[in-house]
Amino acid sequence: MIKCIKRCFLVVVSALILTGCNGETIENVPDVSKNAPAEPLQEEFSVEYPLVIRTGYSTSKEDPRGIALDSFKKEVEKNTDGNIIVEIHSDGELGSDSVLIEGLIEKNVDMTVSSAGNYALYATKIGVSALPFLFSDFESAWKFIDSSVMQNLSLELENYNMHVLAFFDNGFRCVTTSERVGAVRTIDDMKGLNIRTPENQIVMETMSELSANPKSYPFAKLKNALIDGTFDAQENPIPVIYSNKLYEVQKYLSITNHSYDAMPLTIRNDIWLALDSDYKEVIKKAAKNAEEQNRQLVKQQTEECVKYLEEEGMEVVYPDLEPFRTATSGVMDVFSSVYGKELIKYIEQIN
| pLDDT tens per residue, range 163-179 | 999 999 999 999 999 99
Whole-angstrom distance, CA of residue 111 vs CA of residue 101: 9
Whole-angstrom distance, CA of residue 213 vs CA of residue 231: 10
Provide, rounded to the nearest whole percent, the portion of the chain with pLDDT above 90.
80
For the chain, helix, strand, coil in percent to 5 are 50, 20, 30
- CA–CA distances in Å: residue 266 to residues 56, 150, 152, 269, 272: 11, 15, 14, 8, 10
pLDDT at 337: 78
Q: pLDDT tier at 232 (50, 70, 90 boundaries)?
A: very high
Whole-angstrom distance, CA of residue 279 vs CA of residue 84: 8
Which residues are paired to 14 by β-bridges?
Answer: none
pLDDT at 30: 58
Is 119 within the bounds of a domain? yes
pLDDT at 37: 53
pLDDT at 312: 96
Is 314 within the bounds of a domain? yes
Is the predicted pLDDT of residue 219 greater than 50, yes or no? yes
- The domain of 170 spans 10-350
Is 302 within the bounds of a domain? yes
Whole-angstrom distance, CA of residue 327 vs CA of residue 319: 14
Q: pLDDT tier at 20 (50, 70, 90 boundaries)?
A: very low
Is 155 within the bounds of a domain? yes
Is 98 within the bounds of a domain? yes
Whole-angstrom distance, CA of residue 314 vs CA of residue 7: 40
Cβ-based neighbours of 24, under 8 Å, separated by 6 or more: none
Is 5 within the bounds of a domain? no
Rounded to 5 degrees, what are φ and ψ at 236? -160, 165
Q: What is the DSSP letter of 313?
A: T
pLDDT at 27: 45
Is the predicted pLDDT of residue 38 greater than 60, yes or no? no
pLDDT at 19: 31
Is 4 within the bounds of a domain? no
pLDDT tens-place string over residues 131-153: 999 999 999 999 999 999 999 99
Whole-angstrom distance, CA of residue 205 vs CA of residue 214: 8
pLDDT tens-place string over residues 258-275: 999 999 999 999 999 999
pLDDT tens-place string over residues 240-257: 999 999 999 999 999 999
Is the predicted pLDDT of residue 31 greater than 90, yes or no? no
Provide, rounded to the nearest whole percent, the portion of the chain with pLDDT above 70.
88
How much is the average pLDDT of 204-229? 97
Is 345 within the bounds of a domain? yes
Share the mean pLDDT of the chain. Answer: 89
* CATH number, domain with residue 30: 3.40.190.170
pTM, whole model, 2 decimals? 0.86
How much is the average pLDDT of 50-78? 97
**Number of domains the chain is built from:** 1
